Amino acid sequence: MNPTEPLSSPPEQPPSRTERAFSGWLWMSSGAGVQGLVTVGVLAVLARLLTPADFGSVSAAMLVINLSLLVSQGFVGPALVQQPRLREAHVDTALSLSMLGAGLLGALLWAFAPAVAVALHVPSLTAIVRVLVWILPIQGLSAVADALLRRDLQFRTVAAFRMISFALGYGAVGITVAVLGGGLWALVAANASQAALNTALLLGRNPRTLRFRLHRRELGELLSFTGGFSLGRIGNYAAVNGDYLVVVRWLGVTALGLYERAYQLMAAPATLVGQVLDDVLFPAMAQIQSERQRVAVAYRRCVAGVALLALPLSALTLVLAPEIVRVLLGPGWTEVTAPFRVLVLGTLFRTSYKISDSLTRALGAVYRRAWRQWSYAALVIGGGIVGQRWGITGVAWVVLLALLVNFVLTAHLGTRLVGMGWREYVGAHGPALRAAGVVGVSAWAFAAAARALGAPAAGVLGITLAGTGAVLGSVVWMRNGDWLLGRDGQWLRERLGGFCRNALRRVRPARAVVGGVS
């Protein structure tokens, strides 16, 4: 095939576009849900085998590794997804750029690893970074294959690969090495194995992406998207990880290990809901970017749906934070509870901004997005330097404020792009606030009663979850769901029901055919 000829484009507007996007979200959510359960299990085991300092040391190394990944190949996938007329030459050029960047930054990072260790005050960092630097070329090989699957809305495959690589690569390898006494090298092996397995699965699915050629015209087209996008993405990385940098630089690796656990516990719902929506919405909205009315409706529904999940979950977690930390991490991690409770207040902000972020990238507003990301980063890093005087809880309060500001800034851009008023945007959160009130009051009452009876941490969790679920179900039944869900929540519920019914219809004929053959 001539590399300058267009690849087959996605259908213009097939009737099943909405169902495909919703189905993609369900598959990605299922994969993230399973990964979340595996993560909880792996974390519970590793937290009892390793120390906070072990987690902090490897987290410090992954800060520089992930930044290098972002610079070397972070724009490649989105540029391919957003490209309206993708050609084979784009694919070849993107892979060549990815590998060139990975090789160059990998060599620089290897050479300057001792300087990074000195700057972060972590002497053991040199050896860790020099082992983990091999993740750069490994993931560089699969960047294009992953992007093409997302462009084609093949989220079921992406979710499956993500789940398998985490469960086997990170979980199984990490726990095995930890049990054998590997210490922090268990986490190093886990991260490297996960990257290698995910790359092997992606390349096995689409080996045709391994062609190394640079084409001048396609290089220019890819780079035209890269400038503002890269600025925004690096700014976002600085914001999301700036607090880690502050903690390890001023408070040490043990404090980073504790703080990271608190942040990861808070971010788990954001990963399950927000990141999955981001993975699905960006390619889906990019395909209908010229139809602003459809985009506006999808945006409002996603905002309402995320709020319905995030706000009640925040209320529940705020009440049960001490028991969650004790059950998941063990008695040696009680210092995580205070910053965890502070960060939980920002679950909605951490989750919902990803929707606005996906929208701005899909509509090409990458430069207007970039300065907002850098403002967010400045708040996190600058405020974190001040907040660290009060320990990791002080850093958590600063991060909460930064999350709120970023949430407002990205929502402002998103509503302007689709022509939505603030009244409509804020109104989309109304049902979620009511649901959070019901959940919060119920959870507080049941948890207080369980604690007064002297129930263990697991017992408090079980009693509170069961009681709160019963109350919430009763309210939904009495009000028929309208009061708690609102119009957008009802639409999402209907779509979910329709998706499940359609899935069952597809399964039944297949079973009938199999039965007839047998």
In a domain, 257, yes or no: yes
Q: Say which amino acid occupies 42.
A: V
**CA 311 to CA 485: how far, in whole Å?**
13
Structural domain count, the chain = 2
Phi-psi region for residue 467, left (φ > 0), alpha (ψ -120 to 50) or beta?
alpha
pLDDT of residue 485: 79
Domain boundary among 157, 190, 214: 214
- The answer to whether position 290 is within a domain reads yes
- Residue 31: which pLDDT band, with cuts at 50, 70 and 90? low
Where among 158, 181, 214 does a domain terminate?
Answer: 214
Q: Is residue 222 part of a domain?
A: no
Extract the tokens encoding 267: 């971010």
Same domain for 159 and 274, yes or no, is no
Q: Are residues 179 and 302 in the same domain?
A: no
User: Higher pLDDT residue, 164 or 501?
Assistant: 164
List the structure tokens of 15: 């009737």
Residue with more model confidence, 336 or 484 = 336
Cα-based distances in Å from 251 to 84, 126, 127, 145, 383: 47, 19, 21, 40, 15
Per-residue model confidence (pLDDT) at position 144: 86
Whether 205 maps to a domain, the answer reads yes
Question: What would the pLDDT profile of 261-310 be if each residue is shown by its tens digit?
Answer: 999 888 876 666 655 566 555 555 555 555 667 777 878 888 888 898 88
Task: Give the residues across from 87 on adjacent strands.
Answer: 6
Same domain? 373 vs 299: yes
d(CA 443, CA 435): 12
Mean pLDDT of the chain: 82
Q: What is the pLDDT of residues 37-74, one digit of tens each?
A: 777 788 889 999 999 999 999 999 999 999 888 877 76
Question: Which range of residues forms the domain containing residue 310?
Answer: 228-506
Choose one of 164, 191, 214: the last residue of a domain.
Answer: 214
Joined together, the tokens standing for residue 364 give: 């090409």
User: For 469-489, what is each residue's pLDDT tens digit?
Assistant: 999 888 877 766 677 778 877
Structure tokens, 461? 């969790």
Using an 8 Å Cβ cutoff, are 327 and 282 in contact?
no
Residue 173 and residue 268 in one domain: no
Q: Considering the domain boundaries, does residue 317 fall inside one?
A: yes
Q: Tell me the whole-structure pTM to 2 decimals.
A: 0.80
